[in-house]
């Protein structure tokens, strides 16, 4: 998660208020400490995606959240890490979520709207 990367990068960089975006920028600049933190996150995410893919066999894996905001800084090594872990499975496409980091908030809002309109329909019936 972006929070875990933020904590690890804050510790590795010695900057208490450093966050995942700072780590991504440091990766792009070639900082070896940032690359180590980033690779640990990529490896953990790749492990989870391979397990999910093995169980569910989707053609496409959609990755969202804060780390996805890093774009190809995340997706290039993630695709490579997933490909390295695949054995018998067909390699899925790995793409960023179209709604980005706002997906959770939009989903919660739609759920609330649905619950509200369902309740109003039941009351007026």
Kindly provide the b/e burial profile for residues 38-74, where b requires at least 16 CB atoms within 10 angstroms of the residue's own CB: beebbeebbeebbeebeeeeeeebeebbbbbbbeebb
Q: Which tens digit of pLDDT belongs to each residue from 78-114?
A: 999 999 999 998 999 999 988 776 777 888 888 999 8
3-state SS class at 63: strand
All residues at 6 or more sequence positions from 57 whose CB lies less than 8 Å from its CB, including other chains: 89
Q: List residues bridging with 93 in a β-sheet.
A: 60
pTM of the model: 0.79
- CA-to-CA distance for 36 and 39, rounded, in angstroms? 5
pLDDT per residue over 25-73, tens digit each? Answer: 999 999 999 999 999 999 999 999 999 999 999 999 999 888 888 999 9
């Amino acid at each position: 998660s972006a929070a875990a990367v933020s904590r690890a990068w804050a510790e590795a960089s010695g900057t208490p208020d450093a966050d995942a975006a700072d780590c991504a920028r440091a990766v792009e600049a070639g900082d070896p400490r940032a690359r180590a933190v980033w690779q640990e996150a990529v490896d953990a995410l790749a492990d989870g995606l391979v397990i999910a893919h093995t169980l569910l066999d989707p053609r496409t894996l959609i990755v969202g959240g804060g780390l996805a905001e890093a774009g190809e800084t995340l997706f290039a090594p993630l695709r490579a890490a997933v490909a390295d872990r695949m054995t018998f499975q067909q390699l899925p496409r790995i793409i960023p979520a179209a709604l980005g980091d706002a997906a959770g908030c939009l989903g919660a809002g739609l759920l609330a709207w649905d619950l509200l309109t369902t309740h109003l329909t039941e009351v007026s019936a």
